[in-house]
Amino acid sequence: MKTNRFNINHVEVCAPYCLRITFGDGVVMDVDLAGIIQRYPVLSPLKDEALFARAHVGEWSIGVDWISGEIDLAGDNLRAEAIEQSGGISHERIWDWMHRNKLTLDGAAAALGISRRMVAYYRNGEKPIPKHIWLACLGWERCVVEGLETWKDAA
């Protein structure tokens, strides 16, 4: 059986507004939700520490729930936030980069000089995104925005 790295196996509150999450692939990550709770008004009820302490694995293990059907966060978003907070580069950055630039898997692969399969791995969160790949995304995007035809023109 294939494990889903975005499923939630276990969740516990480890500090105010912080969760320790065990994902479907066995990886345990801490995520601080204070900024997210502050940024999104729909999550403002979670400022109540008693409510926040009621965090539990949601139905079908696809996220963390506080009030089923009303206040929850999806496992893929929680994992992406935890990766970013630990200094990594989450799969959501590749998704956003491709969307902003209207790139298909083939187009992104050609832009980065890597295989279509690797772009898919990064985009789906199956493999960690190396810093040099993310920097290449940013460099490529700069070249496009500035209308440069090749990487050499940027030098």
Write the CA distances from 35 to 18, 111, 123, integer angstroms: 11, 33, 24
For the domain with range 8-85, which CATH number is right: 3.90.1580.10, 3.30.2020.10, 3.30.470.10, 3.40.50.300?
3.30.2020.10
Per-residue pLDDT of 24-71, as tens digits, reads 999 999 999 999 999 999 999 999 999 999 999 999 999 999 998 899
What per-residue confidence (pLDDT) applies to 147?
84
Strands (E), the chain: 8-15, 18-23, 28-32, 56-57, 63-67, 71-74
CATH 3.30.2020.10 in the chain: give the residue spans: 8-85
pTM: 0.88
Tell me the average pLDDT across 73-97.
Answer: 97
Task: Kindly report the CATH number that applies to the domain delimited by 91-154.
Answer: 1.10.260.40
CATH 1.10.260.40 in the chain: give the residue spans: 91-154
